[in-house]
Amino acid sequence: MAWVVGCAALVITSGAQADQRAKIEAIEGTVISTELSGRIAKLPFRPGDSFKKGAELAELDCTLYHAERDRVSAQLQSARKTLENRRRLAELRSIGKLEVDLAELAVRESSAEQRIASINVKRCSINAPFSGRVVKLHSRQGQSVKAQEKLMEIVGSDLEARVIVPARWLSWIEKDQGVELAVEETGETVSGKVTRIGAAVDPVSHTIPVWASLKESSSLRPGMSGVARFPDRPDSTSTE
């Protein structure tokens, strides 16, 4: 309701207008894919399962990559022995500097190949980059996959609420301000605080997004919706 006197207007906003729609989103989320080709040996988590950061999400059968690493390691040992032998011969002036230089190059080449082989072996095991839950599986245990093929979609356990508020609220809303979110799907009220304020105002709707971190709750899921209330919001604003 508004009363207009002369050129001044006093706008009193009701409590209902102060409540804003909100959507719960995961702060972290990604699609896990493999960097190697191979057969999936382990895929221990199913959709809806939770996991901790560092947990093994998938493992490929990397027998071939292990064998390649062992072959390159043996090759490196041989190159080092050859270099050692040629250095002794060079001290006795039995061979020239060129032979020693070539042996050193062979050692560096084999060492680089060993690092590549070791990296490939590590890629056989895919670990969780953060704590969260499995959203969807794109592959199955025992399935052969190609490099860069999707394995699963995951989301993090840290959640936030995305709230679209009137741009005029920028006059008082600020970071770390308290928020209360009434979640429709569960009926619970979760508290949080403003962590980010949008960088630009929508010129059509004159609104701006605000994100608020939420206290951890086992019942919350990304995609849930609710109503956000800001307890520290002024009861009224006046404009000239």
> What CATH number does residue 202 fall under?
2.40.30.170
Q: Which pLDDT does position 235 carry in this prediction?
A: 64
Per-position DSSP letters for the chain, written without gaps between them: -EEEETTEEEEE--HHHH-EEEEEEES-EEEEE-SS-EEEEE----TT-EE-TT-EEEEEE-HHHHHHHHHHHHHHHHHHHHHHHHHHHHHTTSS-HHHHHHHHHHHHHHHHHHHHHHHHHHTTEEE-SSSEEEEEESS-TT-EE-TT-EEEEEEES-EEEEEEEEGGGGGT--TT-EEEEEETTT--EEEEEEEEE-SS--TTT-EEEEEEEE---TT--TT-EEEEE-TTS-SEEEE-
Tens digit of each residue's pLDDT (9 = 90 or more) over 153-203: 999 999 999 999 999 999 999 999 999 999 999 999 999 999 999 999 999
72 occurs within a structural domain: yes
187 occurs within a structural domain: yes
Task: Examine the domain organization and report whether 162 and 226 are in the same domain.
Answer: yes
Share of the chain above pLDDT 70, in %: 90
Picking from 59-73, 100-114, 138-152, 223-237, which range would have the lowest pLDDT averaged per residue?
223-237
> What CATH number does residue 79 fall under?
1.10.287.470
Q: How many domains does one find in the chain?
A: 2
Q: What is the pTM of this model?
A: 0.75
58 occurs within a structural domain: no
Domain of 95, in residue numbers? 64-122
